[in-house]
C-alpha cells in the first residue's frame, strides 16, 4: 500500500490562507473488500443492494478470498454470495472455477430449483432457493479510498 500526502494553500483576498490536507490510499486493484450486510433479502434483492451500494455480491475466486469473505461476517451466519447455477457463474457474469461445496448436501438442488449459493460458518457452499431471505456479503474493489 502506498500513501500520498498533499497540502494545498490557497490565498483569499491576499490575506486569508486555507490549507487542505488529504490522504489517498492506493492498493492492489484486484483486491476485494468484503462487507457484511445484516439485512435479510432474497438473492436478487441482495444483488441489487450490493450493485447499488458497493460493486456486487461477494465474488470468491480462491481460498484466500473465501477466508476474507468469511471473516467479514459474524461466525454464526449463513450468507448469500454471488454464485448461481447453470453453468456456475458469478453475479457479474464471469465463470467460476473455484468452488468450496458442503460435502454431501452442497449440490442437492431440491426440486431442481435451488440456483443460488450460500456460504456457511465453515466456509462451505450450498445451493438454496433464491427467494429465501438471508443476510449477505457484498464486495467492492478498493483502489482509491478517501479519508
Could you tell me the residue range of the domain that residue 84 belongs to? 32-146
Q: Which residues contact 82 (CB under 8 A, 6 or more apart)?
A: 47, 50, 56, 57, 58, 59, 60, 90, 91, 92, 117, 139
Q: Which residues, in sequence order, are bridge partners of residue 71?
A: none
Q: Is residue 12 part of a domain?
A: no
Tens-binned pLDDT, residue by residue, of the chain (147 aa) = 444 333 333 333 344 444 333 333 334 556 789 999 999 999 999 999 999 999 999 999 999 998 898 889 888 788 999 999 868 889 888 888 888 888 866 566 666 778 899 998 888 999 899 999 999 999 997 533 333
In a domain, 19, yes or no: no
* Residue 26 domain-assigned (yes or no): no
CB-CB contact of 39 with 146 (8 Å): no
Query: Would residue 10 count as lying in a domain?
Result: no
The radius of gyration computed from the CA coordinates of the chain, to the nearest angstrom, equals 20
For the domain that residue 112 is a member of, what is the CATH number? 3.10.100.10
**What's the CA gap between 74 and 70, in Å, rounded?**
8
Q: Note if the pTM is more than 0.95.
A: no
Residue 66 lies in a domain: yes
Q: Is 18 within the bounds of a domain?
A: no
Counting the structural domains of the chain, the total is 1
pLDDT of residue 113: 75
Amino acid at each position: 500500500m502506498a500513501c500520498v500526502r498533499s497540502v494545498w494553500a490557497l490565498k483569499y483576498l491576499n490575506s486569508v490562507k486555507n490549507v487542505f490536507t488529504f490522504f489517498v490510499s492506493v492498493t492492489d486493484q484486484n483486491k476485494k473488500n468484503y462487507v457484511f450486510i445484516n439485512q435479510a433479502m432474497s438473492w436478487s434483492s441482495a444483488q441489487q443492494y450490493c450493485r447499488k451500494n458497493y460493486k456486487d455480491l461477494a465474488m470468491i475466486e480462491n481460498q484466500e478470498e473465501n477466508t476474507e469473505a468469511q471473516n467479514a461476517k459474524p461466525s454464526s451466519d449463513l450468507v448469500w454470495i454471488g454464485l448461481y447455477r447453470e453453468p456456475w457463474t458469478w453475479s457479474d457474469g464471469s465463470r467460476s472455477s473455484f468452488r468450496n461445496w458442503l460435502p454431501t448436501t452442497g449440490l442437492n438442488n431440491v426440486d431442481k430449483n435451488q440456483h443460488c449459493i450460500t456460504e456457511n460458518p465453515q466456509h462451505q457452499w450450498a445451493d438454496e432457493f433464491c427467494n429465501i431471505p438471508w443476510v449477505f456479503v457484498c464486495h467492492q474493489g478498493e483502489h482509491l479510498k478517501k479519508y
